[in-house]
Amino acid sequence: MAPQPVDPGGLRCPGCGRRSKPAEDALVCSACRAPLSYLPPERAPARGQLTGKGVWRYAPLLPDVPPVTLGEGGTPLVESLRVGPRLSLDLAYKVEGCNPSGSFKDRGTTVLVSALAKAGYRVVADDSSGNAGAALATYAARAGLAARLYVPKEASPRKLAQIRALGAELRTIAGPRERCTEAVFEDCAREQDLAYASHTLSPFFLAGLTSLAYELAEEQDWRSPEHLIVPAGGGGLFLGLVYGFLRMAEWGWVSHVPQVHLVQPAACAPLARAFVRGSTHPLPVVPGQTVAEGTRIASPERGTEVLAALRTVGGEARAVEDAQILRALQRLACEEGLWVEPTSGLAVAGLELLATEGVLQSGERVVVVLTGSGLKSP
Ligand SMILES: [Zn+2]
């Protein structure tokens, strides 16, 4: 058999495997319309090349763009004092609320805005009234770009305050949530210097999220935990962790890929319901109200990709009720001193559930990702 060529990394379709030109504004595969992924080179860069701290410490593993940065990443990994011992687990929390705009979305946004600034765009747009919108407004301001957010009419004014404070333009769109996405697409097709900075579709955003995997591995002396637990709406954070650890295992940087588990609110759980039924595609849901509003996404664009990745890493997907989320939040705050936004409570509620079920075994190393600051919560 002829030797396989070395994969230089770049944009690739997880749906059909097709390679794409490395365009900074690329979103979906031209053949099958699946959202593209960014993969770092197959040949491992030397770990000695890693310098600095935070997301851009891993620049050799990220797209080659001049960074627009606010010092994101390098967030605290806090050992559990009470919840872990109670569950007989070696437990730690990754506190992503310490990022500049208050959530993990900064990891994806720093890379995406860097790419779009390099491509010469002047205005960046997204459909988000939550953490992704706040992150885009933050990094656009940093880059000297204008930001425009398309938000549903019913978005809470409190959530929009951060976006507005950063000088972003808000376009309120009537009708169902999908109308916001359609409106961005329409305007981007019409306005030449307007880029769709989509936190769900962009491979550059996803690439930035892989930095969490590299950082977690390095700060634990290149040892993978047995389990990672994350909240999931679109599943981007989940995918970033899976892709990062898969690549590190291929390079021999870590001995194994952790089981990565995702948790959704019972009121909107298209991924968890599909997983439990053995479906390879997300199940359609009518989203109900939930305190975990950051994960209220009825049809995740990367849903099929997420379900495939769950099977690859032997992860579990669970749905939890709001009462469980609120109880978990309270325990986390009172027992550990960690105050996080309700969406992060999903992962903590999932931790308790997976421990009860015996998925997490006594003495195993578990890291729970706390996605956003409590200062964000209403
Ligand atoms: Zn494709």
We find that the CATH architecture of domain 105-196 is 3-Layer(aba) Sandwich (3.40)
Check residues 301 and 155 and name the one with the higher pLDDT: 301
CB contact at 8 A, 45 and 60: yes
In the reported structure, the alpha carbon of residue 29 is separated from the centroid of ligand 1 by a whole-number distance in angstroms of 5
Ion ligand 1: residues, Cβ under 5 Å: 13, 15-16, 18, 29, 31-32, 34
Distance 282 CA to ligand 1 centre (A): 18
Which CATH number is 77-104+204-376 given? 3.40.50.1100
Q: Is the pLDDT of residue 321 over 80?
A: yes
- Quote the ligand 1 centre to 365 CA distance (angstroms): 36
pLDDT of res. 318: 98
Residue 20 Cα to ligand 1 middle (Å):
9
C-alpha of residue 34 to centroid of ligand 1, in Å = 5
Give the distance (Å) from ligand 1 centre to CA of residue 21: 13
CA of 26 to the centre of ligand 1 (A): 13
228 CA distance to ligand 1 middle (Å): 28
Q: Which residues contact 204 (CB under 8 A, 6 or more apart)?
A: 24, 38, 63, 65, 108, 111, 112, 114, 115
Q: How far is the CA of 32 from the centre of ligand 1 (A)?
A: 4
Q: For residue 239, how far is its CA from the centre of ligand 1 (angstroms)?
A: 17
The answer on pLDDT for 260 being more than 90 is yes
- The confidence score (pLDDT) of residue 39 equals 84
310: CA distance to ligand 1 center in Å?
20
- Whole-number Å distance, alpha carbon 203 to ligand 1 midpoint, is 13
pLDDT at 1 over 50: no
Q: How far is the CA of 367 from the centre of ligand 1 (A)?
A: 33
- pLDDT value, residue 8: 61
pLDDT of residue 154: 79
The overall average pLDDT reported for the chain is: 93
Q: How far is the CA of 17 from the centre of ligand 1 (A)?
A: 6
| pLDDT at residue 377 tops 90 | no
Å from CA of 28 to ligand 1 middle:
8
Give the pLDDT of residue 7.
60
Tell how far the Cα of 39 is from the centroid of ligand 1, in angstroms: 15
Q: Report DSSP state, residue 126.
A: E
pLDDT band at 378 (very low <50, low <70, confident <90, very high): low
Q: What are phi and psi of 17, to 5 degrees?
A: 85, -5
Q: How far is the CA of 19 from the centre of ligand 1 (A)?
A: 8
Residue 3 confidence (pLDDT) above 70? no
3-state helix, strand, coil in the chain (%, to 5): 40, 15, 40
Examine the pLDDT at 358 and tell me if it is beyond 60.
Answer: yes
Whole-Å CA distances, 169 to 26, 81, 153, 180: 23, 43, 14, 14
Mean pLDDT, residues 61-70: 95
Quick check: do 77-104+204-376 and 105-196 share a fold? yes
Mean pLDDT lowest for which of 154-158, 255-259, 299-303, 354-358? 154-158
Q: Compute the average pLDDT of residues 314-333.
A: 97
Residue 45 pLDDT: 82
| Burial letters 45-84, b for 16+ CB under 10 A, else e | eeeeebeeebbbbbbebbbebebbbbebbbbeebebeebb
Rounded to the nearest angstrom, the distance between the alpha carbon of 15 and the centre of ligand 1 is 5
- Kindly give the distance from the C-alpha atom of residue 341 to the centroid of ligand 1, in angstroms, as a whole number: 35
CA of 323 relative to ligand 1 center, distance in Å: 40
What would the pLDDT profile of 115-172 be if each residue is shown by its tens digit? 999 999 999 999 988 899 999 999 999 999 999 999 988 777 777 899 999 999 999 9
Query: In this structure, is the dihedral angle defined by the CA atoms of residues 231, 232, 233 and 234, taken in order, positive or negative?
Result: positive
Among 93, 94, 96, which residue's Cα sits nearest to residue 109?
A: 96
Q: How far apart are CA 84 and CA 90, in angstroms?
A: 6
Residue 242 confidence (pLDDT): 97
Ligand 1 centre distance from Cα of residue 307 (Å):
17
> CA-to-CA distance for 296 and 117, rounded, in angstroms?
30
Tell me, in angstroms, the distance from the centre of ligand 1 to residue 63's CA: 20
Annotated domain spans of the chain: 77-104+204-376, 105-196
Q: Tens digits of per-residue pLDDT, 178-235?
A: 899 999 999 999 999 999 999 999 999 999 999 999 999 999 999 999 999 999 999 9
- Out of 40-44, 45-49, 78-82, 373-377, give the one with best mean pLDDT: 78-82
Q: 5 pLDDT exceeds 80?
A: no
